[in-house]
């Protein structure tokens, strides 16, 4: 699903009005009616106080449509017009009159702190103050109103976007922003719903298709795309019945050091769970018994050194090398890693201590094979590209980094981001239970396993991240968040593949 900018959505509105020959008021009615339907479906006529806060622009017009329809169906509705300017949009004025006609009441006017209504924890608030059009922070009594709603304890539903949140920048540390429990957003999700610094404001997000011009939406180039089941499913390659293990590639997993062999077990198992035909593991001698016992499906090669990697030599010709998990950063290991980079032409998967070695030895970045996949968490990323002011600057720096070295970068998080030059993909599977030791090692193995099956590295990264999260979601359904461990994610990859192709499994 494409993630469009505010400017692109405005253009989509204009194209829709022109091509359908309808008024903006009618389009507003169509969009806001969907919001009403969702509220009505959830509340089912409940005897609850609904307080709707409407700005004086088009977002406020949406709120007035919702208010009118709720009143028509017998709900207890109180409407408050937030009078932050003398200007009103035309569609706001049309729907203001329609609401008055339906309810035979005048909405209350808020233009100072003394006008704030009392809000009880049991109330249902609808935020339709600013929407996507905000370009400067709320100040004075207006900022206090947003905080008043937040501090009430009432359930808050935001229309299109929580008020105070910008579509293209991070609010200041002390900025007043509605913290919605639920956001009903129009046509496409907004980027800020997925950024670590801003996702907390949107709560649970539901995208509502308001019927904007299909041709425009198909052709417009998006800065980012959201990857859900439909998108991931399109990337999957079914297997040929007449095939053998050699058709699905050979992955060499390299890493480990004394006391850190477990990460290698997790990564190597995940390689085969992701479908690779063969998996070899290169580790220090200290991990021999552990790997042979815990993972008999792998072929095992050991370094001459007992405790760390010093000389990565094999007669193998793997399709992909997955490097770094538990490897440590000793001078001998750095030297061995450099030699491996110098002799490797195919794209690699580099994680964990491999990333740390790149950060501390920047000259190694120039040795990266093109289209290699790097999988840092935020701290590892900071060591790679330096600090950033906010999430938007971070994305800009990653874009330049991936362009410079011609690589793919997977930034792990609640919504993992996959970057390849100017293209960004945002994963929509996964859950908080996956914040557990070894989860990243499993992800590295999955992506490497897909790469060995001749998935393009970018496709392997996108599909691998989605399957990783999907498997985690299946685990969480069975075990809950707290009891989930990384081995569960690897062990449930089979169920994830089945769920990906099963129309009845709504994950």
Profile the chain (507 residues) by mean pLDDT over runs of 10 residues: 96 97 98 98 95 97 98 97 95 97 94 98 97 90 98 98 96 94 97 97 97 97 96 96 95 98 98 98 98 96 98 96 98 98 98 98 98 98 97 98 98 98 97 98 98 98 98 97 98 97 62
Contact 403, 205 (CB under 8 A): no
Strand partners, 79: 52
Is the CA virtual torsion 286, 310, 445, 362 positive or negative? positive
Distance of CA 329 to the CA centre of its chain: 31
Binding site as annotated, residues for K(+):
59, 127, 163
The CATH code for residues 2-222 is 3.40.50.10260
Spatial separation of the C-alpha atoms in residues 377 and 487, rounded to whole Å: 19
Q: What is the largest CA-CA distance in the chain?
A: 86
- % helix / strand / coil in the chain, to the nearest 5? 45, 15, 40
Contact 277, 296 (CB under 8 A): no
Q: Which two tokens stand for residue 188?
A: 């496409």
**Domain positions in the chain:** 2-222, 249-501
How many other CB atoms are there within 10 angstroms of residue 325's CB atom? 31
Spatial separation of the C-alpha atoms in residues 496 and 488, rounded to whole Å: 12
Binding site as annotated, residues for (6S)-NADPHX:
58-62, 131-137, 160, 326, 377, 441
Helices 262-273 and 439-452, interaxial angle, to 10°? 40
Q: In what order do the strands lie in the sheet with 320-323?
A: 2-3, 224-227, 423-427, 417-420, 408-411, 373-374, 349-350, 320-323, 250-254, 278-283, 299-302
Give 138: exposed, middle or buried? Use CB within 10 Å, 0-12, 13-18, 19+: buried
pTM of the predicted model, to two decimals? 0.95
Binding site as annotated, residues:
58-62, 127, 131-137, 160, 163, 326, 377, 412-416, 440-441
Q: Which two tokens stand for residue 96?
A: 């203001």
Spatial separation of the C-alpha atoms in residues 336 and 311, rounded to whole Å: 5
Place of tokens 């707290």: 482
Between the two ends of the chain, the Cα-to-Cα distance in Å is 16
Q: Which two tokens stand for residue 303?
A: 């370094």
Q: What is the DSSP letter of 186?
A: E
Given this model, what pLDDT does residue 505 score?
A: 43
User: How far is residue 465 from each of residues 212, 232, 440, measured CA to CA in Å?
Assistant: 30, 10, 10
Q: Which two tokens stand for residue 417?
A: 């981001």
Q: Which of 438, 450, 308 is nearest to 373 (CA)?
A: 450
Given this model, what pLDDT does residue 316 score?
A: 95
Helices 493-501 and 262-273, interaxial angle, to 10°? 30
* Residue 31: CA count within 13 A, CB half-sphere: 28
Contact 498, 471 (CB under 8 A): no
Binding site as annotated, residues for AMP:
412-416, 440
Superfamily of domain 249-501: Ribokinase (3.40.1190.20)
Tell me whether domains 2-222 and 249-501 share a fold.
no
Place of tokens 């072929």: 299
């Amino acid at each position: 699903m494409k993630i469009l900018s505010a400017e692109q959505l405005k253009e989509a509105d204009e194209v829709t009005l022109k091509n359908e020959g309808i008024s903006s008021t009618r389009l507003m009615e169509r969009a806001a009616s969907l919001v009403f339907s969702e509220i009505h479906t959830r509340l089912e006529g409940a005897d609850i106080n609904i307080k709707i806060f409407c700005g004086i622009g088009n977002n406020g017009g949406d709120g007035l449509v919702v208010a009118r329809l709720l009143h028509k169906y017998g709900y207890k509705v109180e409407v408050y017009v937030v009078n932050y300017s003398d200007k009103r949009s035309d569609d706001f004025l049309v729907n203001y009159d329609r609401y008055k006609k339906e309810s035979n009441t005048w909405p209350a006017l808020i233009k100072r702190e003394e006008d704030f209504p009392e809000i009880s924890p049991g109330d249902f608030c609808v935020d339709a103050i600013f929407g996507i059009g905000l370009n400067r922070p709320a100040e004075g009594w207006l900022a206090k109103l947003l905080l008043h709603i937040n501090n009430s304890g009432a359930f808050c539903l935001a229309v299109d976007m929580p008020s105070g949140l910008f579509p293209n920048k991070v609010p200041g540390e002390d900025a007043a922003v509605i913290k919605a429990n639920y956001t009903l957003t129009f046509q496409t999700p907004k980027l800020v719903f997925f950024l670590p610094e801003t996702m907390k404001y949107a709560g649970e997000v539901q995208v509502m298709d308001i019927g904007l011009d299909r041709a425009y939406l198909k052709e417009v180039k998006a800065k980012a795309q959201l990857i859900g089941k439909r998108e991931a499913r399109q990337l999957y390659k079914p297997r040929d019945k007449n095939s053998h293990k050699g058709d699905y590639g050979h992955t060499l997993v390299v890493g480990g050091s004394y006391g850190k062999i477990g990460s290698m077990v997790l990564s190597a198992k995940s390689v085969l769970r992701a479908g690779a035909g063969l998996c070899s593991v290169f580790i220090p001698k200290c991990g021999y018994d552990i790997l042979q016992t815990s993972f008999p499906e792998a072929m095992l090669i050991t370094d001459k050194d007992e405790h760390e990697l010093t000389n990565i030599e094999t007669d193998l010709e793997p399709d992909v090398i997955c490097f770094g998990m538990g490897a440590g950063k000793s001078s001998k290991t750095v030297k061995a890693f450099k030699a491996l980079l110098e002799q490797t032409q195919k794209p690699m998967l580099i994680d964990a201590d491999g990333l740390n070695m790149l950060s501390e030895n920047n000259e190694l970045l120039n040795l990266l094979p093109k289209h290699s996949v790097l999988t840092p968490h935020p701290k590892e990323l900071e060591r790679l590209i330096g600090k950033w002011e906010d999430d938007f600057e971070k994305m800009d720096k990653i874009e330049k980094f991936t362009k410079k070295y011609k690589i793919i970068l997977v930034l792990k998080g609640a919504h993992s981001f996959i970057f390849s030059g100017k293209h960004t993909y945002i994963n929509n599977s996964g859950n908080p239970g996956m914040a557990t030791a070894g989860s990243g090692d499993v992800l590295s193995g999955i992506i490497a396993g897909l790469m060995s099956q001749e998935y393009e590295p970018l496709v392997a990264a996108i599909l691998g991240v989605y399957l990783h999260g999907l498997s985690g979601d299946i685990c969480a359904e069975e075990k809950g968040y707290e009891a989930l461990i990384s081995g569960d994610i690897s062990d449930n990859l089979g169920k994830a593949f089945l769920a990906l192709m099963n129309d009845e499994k709504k994950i």
